[in-house]
Amino acid sequence: MNQAELHRYLVSKEPKIDDAQQLKTYFDLRLATNLSLIKSLFFSLYNEKEYVDQFYVLIDQLETLYGQRSLALQQQDIERLRAGNWYQSEQMVGMQLYVDRFNKNISGLNEKLPYFKDLGINFLHLMPVTTRPAGENDGGYAVNSYHEIDPRYGTKDEFVALTKNARKKGIFLMLDFVVNHTSDEFEWAKKAKAGNAKYQGYYYTYPTRHIPDEFEKTLPEIFPQSAPGNFTYNKEMEKWVMTCFNHYQWDLNYRNPEVFIEMLTNLMSLANLGVDVIRFDALAFLWKKLGTQSQNLPEAHALISLFRMCLQVIAPGVILLAEAIVAPRNILKYFGEGMLEGNECEIAYNASLMALLWNSIATKQASLMLKSLTEIPTKPKDATWINYIRCHDDIGLGYDDNFIASMGWDPRAHKEFLLNYYCGKLAWSPAKGLMFMYNPKNGDGRITGSAASLLGLETALAQNNKNIIDYAIAKILMMHGIILTIGGIPMIYAGDEIGTLNDYTFEQDADHVNDNRWVNRPLQDWNTISTLNKTPDSPPTIIFKGLKNMIRIRKDHTVFKDTNNLKIYGCPNPHIFVYKRTEGECNIYILSNFNEVTEKLDIGWLHSIGIQTGKTTIDLLTDHPLELINNELPLKPFQQLWIKNS
Ligand code: OTU
């Protein structure tokens, strides 16, 4: 029984949660049941002899932080424990957005809540809204404060009002906790720069190049083009400071337990605003060790689990998303392994699926996806994915080289092909993306671009070719259809629901020109949205309506709740990806054709996997029975079927 299960069991016995005293009893219960794990995690990171006092500071702090949580949120925590795994529900459908690029500011967003309801969105990932440096700030991922709302977005009162309004409307909120680094203007960084030794110890600071040079022998570079190297010289302190991301993002030194305790306080200030899911940004990087790549280290896992268990005591209704864009097998570790299963993050980005989907589009085949997804071990049953086709960042080509090799492909040549396909190097490719952070030393590179532009809509519209426009639309819907049905929370990037193209204006913006991820962070196009009902044949309308239909069907079928009820089939046609979701007697089969020509499936094979072909078997997307021709089921280019026997 993991800790979450234990608490669910304990609170299910006692119905009363309307008075503070009773709620406090639950807190005490949680503290008592988690204390030994918290203690062993803490002392696995921090030497017991040296830091025993810090441990007691932490325990006292748990109670203080609990006291700062509002009664309404304390009650909600218990309700969520009783309800079970709310985040696995088929009702969850997410959208990711930058508040300012979506509709100016927090109150602008609040006004648009009906837009989400119309489409069927009930989960929002808001990009950072707290204070940040003027000029370059990595879209707010350089943090000046973890709880002060940046005036450009509005006030704290407006933010709290938004969270309350969202709660009332049944909309869940996710915000980032930029746990790996602060900006160089954060109060600790300022004190460090002014010579304060204590705060210099909050970061990895060194008087000479000796240790930085040792680190550089094994640390990879994250932004090799715009921010090469992993250390920045600060003239004021006359020291080198570790900056794995941009030079203005200082890596926090979690070898110092004070940093952990202070960051826990910062985490709670975010959670106490009324946030439901906290995205742990760049969490793979939390622990640095000489002689290693300093990613996915066991100490990083212990630290994340320590955060998680403290959160479990203070605010068990709040859950964590792992932003670990790492190798497929390493992602799974963020759900917690062995003793830590269920005690790390509840959700992780399904970066493997994302990368595999883009591979399938470029190769027009589902074989690598089939092999990878069937051979990667399944996730724990209480965990779930965020399924996405793209986010605000680049698309990283995170494949398992062994699987690539087993396809008979050379990993480096495969990577080069995908980069060429998406970044304008192949004349026949309809994709319009940009190359992000190409590293000629190893051929690594990532891809940026909006979903619609990467899937060919930009090219098709420029050519004004109806056929190609239809293909692009079909691809956009097919890709979203997969993230809506494969199990987990689908996360749509704002604008993709109307096929928004690349935004090249970043090239004119001094603060963005060095970071072409801005090409895929367009302004929300309210003009187009206002015409959706009047232009039934326009690509934005077809995409919007198609998505809305798929979201509705997802929500109407509890089979789409994530209970590890997914079966992927080895389909005899390599272009078609086939899987089934099952709940009791209900089976829904999702078939997707990745080829640009019609592909067929034999009736015998359909029957062998349980798809019936009589009149009562329908495609839920169109509500029509399947149409077979000569005992074969044809799928048009990029067509998707959601088949239900009844
Ligand atoms: C995250 O991504 C954020 O999503 C980015 O927007 C930030 O720039 C970055 O952290 C720094 O805060 O390098 O290109 O898993 O892929 O953590 C994206 C490793 C990023 C990285 C990921 C990071």
CA distance 603 to 293: 51
The finding on whether 244 has its CB within 6 A of some atom of ligand 1 is no
CA distance 110 to 133: 25
Q: What number of residues does the chain have?
A: 646
CATH ID of 559-644, from 3.40.50.720, 1.10.1040.10, 3.10.450.50, 2.60.40.1180: 2.60.40.1180
Low-confidence residues of the chain: pLDDT under 50: none
Of the candidates 181, 171, 187, 265, the residue with the CA atom closest to the CA atom of residue 223: 181
Q: Is 323 a catalytic residue?
A: yes
User: Phi and psi for 455 in degrees, rounded to 5?
Assistant: -95, 10
Prediction pTM value? 0.96
Outline where 112-256 has alpha helix (H): 113-119, 156-168, 187-193, 197-200, 210-216
ipTM of the complex model: 0.93
Q: Find the 366 Cα to ligand 1 centroid distance in Å.
A: 28
513, amino acid identity:
V
CB-based burial, 56-72: b 16+ in 10 Å, e otherwise: eebbebbeebbeebeee
CA distance 148 to 131: 6
Q: Find the 282 Cα to ligand 1 centroid distance in Å.
A: 6
Residue with CA nearest ligand 1 atom 4 = 393
Domain residue spans of the chain: 3-83, 86-183+253-406+474-557, 187-251, 559-644
CA distance 260 to 256: 7
Enumerate the β-bridge partners of residue 577.
592
Q: Find the 276 Cα to ligand 1 centroid distance in Å.
A: 21
Q: Find the 180 Cα to ligand 1 centroid distance in Å.
A: 10
Pocket test for ligand 1, best of 222, 391, 439, 446 (most atoms within 8 A of CB): 222
Full strand arrangement of the beta sheet holding 205-206: 205-206, 239-242, 231-234
The finding on whether 179 has its CB within 6 A of some atom of ligand 1 is no
CA distance 425 to 448: 14
pLDDT value at residue 12:
66
| CB of 119 closer than 8 Å to CB of 544 | yes
DSSP assignments along 260-277, one per residue: HHHHHHHHHHHHTTT-SE
Q: Find the 628 Cα to ligand 1 centroid distance in Å.
A: 47
CATH ID of 86-183+253-406+474-557, from 3.20.20.80, 3.40.605.10, 3.40.190.10, 3.40.50.300: 3.20.20.80
Residue with CA nearest ligand 1 atom 17 = 282
CATH ID of 187-251, from 3.90.400.10, 3.30.470.10, 3.40.50.720, 3.40.50.300: 3.90.400.10
The finding on whether 222 has its CB within 6 A of some atom of ligand 1 is yes
Among the atoms of ligand 1, which is closest to the Cα of residue 394?
A: 14
DSSP assignments along 313-358, one per residue: HH-TT-EEEE---S-HHHHHGGG--GGGTTSS-SEEE-HHHHHHHH
Catalytic residue among 77, 136, 281, 344: 281
Pocket test for ligand 1, best of 323, 394, 448, 511 (most atoms within 8 A of CB): 323
Catalytic residue among 323, 346, 503, 515: 323
Residue with CA nearest ligand 1 atom 18 = 393
Residue with CA nearest ligand 1 atom 6 = 393
Please write the tens of the pLDDT for every residue from 154-209. Answer: 999 999 999 999 999 999 999 999 999 999 999 999 999 999 999 999 999 999 99
CA distance 491 to 482: 11
Among the atoms of ligand 1, which is closest to the Cα of residue 138?
A: 8
The finding on whether 138 has its CB within 6 A of some atom of ligand 1 is yes
Q: Find the 645 Cα to ligand 1 centroid distance in Å.
A: 43
CA distance 440 to 225: 10
Tell me if 187-251 shares its fold with 559-644: no
Residue with CA nearest ligand 1 atom 12 = 141
CA 478 from chain center: how many Å? 20
Residue with CA nearest ligand 1 atom 5 = 393
SS3 state of residue 444: strand
pLDDT value at residue 7:
63
The finding on whether 178 has its CB within 6 A of some atom of ligand 1 is yes
Please write the tens of the pLDDT for every residue from 631-643. Answer: 999 999 999 999 9
Residue with CA nearest ligand 1 atom 15 = 325
CA distance 57 to 123: 35
Structure tokens at 406: 């087993």
Q: Pairing between strand 384-387 and 489-493?
A: parallel
pLDDT value at residue 130:
97
Among the atoms of ligand 1, which is closest to the Cα of residue 139?
A: 6
Query: Cα 625–631–636 angle (5° rounding)?
Result: 60
